[in-house]
Each structure stands twice: as C-alpha cells, then as structure tokens.
Amino acid sequence: MELKERISILEALLLVSPKPLKINQVMEICQDGDQKGWEEALSFLEKHFNEEHNGIMLQRVATGIRLITKPQMEEYVKSFYQKNLKHNFSRAAFEVLAIIAYNQPITIPEINAIRGISSGGVIKTLLEKKMIKITGRKNVVGKPFLFGTTEEFLIRFGLNSLKDLPKIEEFNALEAE
C-alpha cells in the first residue's frame, strides 16, 4: 500500500471513530501489517494537523489516535453546545485520582490511610464519571474492592498510557533526605 493511500484511510477512520483508533485495528481492516508504513502516514497527519490555523489536532491517547478540538478552542465548543461538558472535579477528587493512578490497584482503606480522611463519596463520583473502575478484590480480610483508572481517564487527561503521568521522582528525592 502506498503512503498516500494509508494517509487517506487513516484520515477517514479518524473522522468516524468514536473511540481512540488503534493502529492494530486499522492494519487488520486493511490487511496491511506494515507498521513502519502506518507510522509514517501517522506522522504525516500529525504534522498536517499541527499548523497554527488548525482548530483540530491529532492526539495520541490511550494507545490510540483521535482527532480532537484544540484546547484553545474550548470556549467556542462550550458556547456551541451551550453547556459545560467538562466535569469540574473537586480537589478531593484529584487527590483520590492521583492516589489511584500512581498506586493502582488500590483499596478504599488504603486510599483513606494516605489521605487521612474517608473518601467514599469521591470514589462514587469518580466511578460515575468513569475515571476509575473496580479491577478486582484484594485477598485480605473482607475482600475489599481494588480500584484502577480507566481508558476514559487516559482520554480525559490526554495521556497515551500510565507511563505518561507526571513523574514522581523529584518528590522521591525529598524523601531520601
């Protein structure tokens, strides 16, 4: 398959895909497993959409790719929908989310121990907003649920994978003192 062809296929699928498009999926549909070739088409599109005048951009997120409105366009999209689509998480929610993201899988008692206060209500909100999910049960007394982050979390935070979370090292240095 030629580069041109790959570019147009990717562009078309990006437009219609409601979820981050996985390259594997595209390769399967096209019966074309040339990973390097697809990567080339991808970087072409990435550059193509990265012009300053573009209102949309190509984002590598949740190990896939998708077309999104640029962050600077938020205000206009909001006015267009005439409502705020972005959920305003509380400070407590960000704390719990940080604890889960960096320590998953983790139970509610463990989360409470780190924060020094009960977090049940926040957990419920995060579950409702699909930022976290139950990943299993811990094999201790009471078999408490284990929680982890979701693909939706990666998408909402624009992360390709958990490895892209802000690094924790600089804080560890402090602990070593």
Q: Are 10 and 67 in contact (CB under 8 A)?
A: no
Strands 56-61 and 132-137: unpaired
Q: Please state the closest distance from residue 34 (CB atom) to another protein, in A.
A: 27
Task: With contacts defined by CB under 8 A, name the span among 4-12, 22-30, 45-53, 112-120 that binds another protein.
Answer: 112-120
Task: With contacts defined by CB under 8 A, name the span among 24-32, 34-42, 46-54, 66-74 that binds another protein.
Answer: 66-74
Name which position in 87, 109, 161, 162 contacts another protein (CB under 8 A): 87
Environment class of 172 (CB within 10 Å of its CB; exposed 0-12, middle 13-18, buried 19+): exposed
The verdict on 108 binding another protein (CB under 8 A) reads no
Name which position in 2, 52, 79, 85 contacts another protein (CB under 8 A): 85
Q: Please state the closest distance from residue 150 (CB atom) to another protein, in A.
A: 8
The residues that touch another protein, with contacts defined as CB under 8 A, are: 15-19, 59, 66-71, 73-74, 77-78, 85-87, 89, 91-92, 94-95, 97-99, 101-102, 114-118, 124, 127, 130, 133-134, 145, 156-159, 165-166, 168, 171, 174-175, 177
